[in-house]
Homo-oligomer: A and B are copies of this chain.
Amino acid sequence: APGPEVPRALCNRAGRFGPTRLPSANRAPVPRMLAVPGPALRPRGPMAAFRRWKEQRLARADESRKGSVDEAIAGLVQLLNGQERFCTTSSCAGRLLLAQAPAPGFSGYEVQKKNCSWLMVTHQICAKEDVMTALQKATGDTVFKFEPFILHVQCQELQDAQLLHSVAIDSGFRNSGITVGRRGKIMMAVRSTHCLEVPLSHMGKLMVTEEYVDFLVQIANRKMEENMKRIDRFYNCLQLALKTELSMSNSPHEMIQKTHSVYTHRRKRKPDKEPGMCTSSDNKEESETEDDPETNLNFFC
| In the complex, chain B residues whose CB is within 8 Å of the CB of A166 | 182
Contacts A162-B180, A198-B198, A294-B152; is A7 near B263 (CB within 8 Å)?
A: no
The answer to whether A208 has its CB under 8 Å from any CB of chain B is yes
C-alpha spacing A90/B208, complex, angstroms: 37
Contacts A152-B295, A294-B90, A295-B89; is A189 near B172 (CB within 8 Å)?
A: no
| In the complex, chain B residues whose CB is within 8 Å of the CB of A295 | 10, 13, 89-90, 152
Interface residues of A in 191-214 (CB under 8 A from B): 191-199, 202, 207-209, 211-212
| In the complex, chain B residues whose CB is within 8 Å of the CB of A260 | 183-184
Q: How far is the CB of A229 from chain B (nearest CB, A)?
A: 11
Q: How far is the CB of A199 from chain B (nearest CB, A)?
A: 6
| In the complex, chain B residues whose CB is within 8 Å of the CB of A263 | 46, 49-50, 52-53, 185
Contacts A215-B207, A261-B183, A262-B181; is A174 near B7 (CB within 8 Å)?
A: yes
Chain B residue nearest to A220 in the complex (CB): B2
Interface residues on A, range: 35 or more
Partner pick for A183 among B1, B194, B288, CB 8 A cutoff: B288
C-alpha spacing A109/B226, complex, angstroms: 13
Chain B residue nearest to A163 in the complex (CB): B182
B-contact 0/1 string along A158-195, CB 8 Å cutoff: 10011001100000101111111111110101011111
Contacts A1-B219, A90-B291, A291-B152; is A177 near B176 (CB within 8 Å)?
A: yes
The answer to whether A216 has its CB under 8 Å from any CB of chain B is yes
A-B contacts, 7 listed (Cβ < 8 Å)? A9-B301, A52-B263, A53-B263, A113-B299, A175-B191, A182-B285, A182-B288
